[in-house]
Amino acid sequence: MSRTEYPEFTLAAIQAESIPFDVDASTDKACHLIEAAADQHATVAAFGETWLPGYPFFALQPPSPLWWQAAAEYLASAVEVPSPTTDRLCAAARRTGIDVVIGVVERDQRTKATVYCTLLFIGREGVILGRHRKLKPTHAERTIWGEGDAVGLKVHERPYGRVSGLNCWEHNMVLPGYALMAQGTQIHVAAWPGREASSAPPPPVSAWSRQLLLSRAFASQAGCYVIAAGGLRVREHLPEGYRDLCRSDLTGDSYIIDPRGEIIAGPAKGEVVLTARGSLEAVYAAKVACDVGGHYSRPDIFQVHMNGQPLERLLMSERSEPPSSSADNPEVRTFQESTTPGPAYTKEPVDGNRSGRVKPPNKRLQRTPASGRR
């Protein structure tokens, strides 16, 4: 019997249909589902990828006049962060006293013309803890979603543990997951559209979700719990005019996985709040075996550099007339120097005809300094 008291918690995967193209109705349903998760004593509850107000099912079809109509409506029904919609989600989290991680279709506040596949992290205090925009949409998703940055690629410290999240095939990219593992994630949300194939497609077909495989691999590598939250979608429940653009249903197939990579709940079927109990004891035991950001790493051989600054397209200057060159403008020089990617390397002295060697600092995960103009 252990003499140490470890924090315990209840993890919840909310598997349900949203109402496509209807952000208000979907938000109403999300708030009710958050209450349902709280009724099951959830500590943290997770929704699937772009649950609010839905995954872009039409993206998998070739462009047509109907396709463009659906894409325009998808953009119009997206969520801005923050907004009255996120205020309602925050109020639900505060009212029920649980943390919420929900996939949203986030519209760019500046251009109003690009949407991102975003995971929104909301604390039980009723505040937005952070957001993560999917770094690289997959295949046909690239016709709909923009590329995200690493501003939100971070672990959120909560009273019961450290929480992180990624969308879908970001789990197949390796490095985004490593960045979170190196920050010490303990509870991870793997958000998926929601479909686990009964068998692999015939070769050479190489792209399908593999949500269970990748979620279990992440849990084992990170030594953390994983809430693999999948969404639901039934073709007959889509607006009638868009049903011809939907190729297949989404069946959810949510799971909860322990830090050894073993399934402890699921697969979920239908609309349900799937729950499982967890403890940091299991996390610590798993990380004793393998901490890929600590004792099970080789920073003298491998290092990851992560640019944590926002990807700004438009940089506004306060000067009425720009100088003739950057050399004449110390502000431009400072900006250029501060945003140069990569760590600050130091050269060793040149030995004869050998070129100078660079030695990176001995760190496992490096962040670009937050200073400098954005």
Cβ contact 141:117 at 8 Å: yes
Which residue out of 31, 90, 117, 168 is catalytically annotated?
Answer: 168
Backbone phi and psi for residue 197, each to the nearest 5 degrees, phi listed first: -65, 140
How does 112-140 read in b/e, with b if 16+ C-beta sit within 10 Å? Answer: eebbbbbbbbbbbeeebbbbbbbbbbbee
Active-site residue, 236 included: no
CA distance 43 to 54: 24
Active-site residue, 168 included: yes
- Least Cα distance to 211 among 173, 168, 178 occurs for 168
CA 259 from centroid of its chain's CA atoms: 19
Which residue out of 49, 106, 141, 196 is catalytically annotated?
Answer: 49
CA distance 103 to 81: 12
CA distance 248 to 250: 7
Active-site residue, 246 included: no
CA distance 103 to 209: 17
Tell me how many helices (H) and strands (E) the chain has.
7, 18
Q: Return the number of other C-beta atoms located less than 10 Å from residue 244's C-beta.
A: 13
CA distance 360 to 373: 25
Where are the extended beta strands (E) located within 298-363? Answer: 304-306, 346-347, 358-359
Record the tokens describing residue 28, joined without a space: 């109403």
Which residue out of 134, 154, 224, 246 is catalytically annotated?
Answer: 134
CA distance 251 to 105: 20
Q: Which residues are catalytic?
A: 49, 134, 168
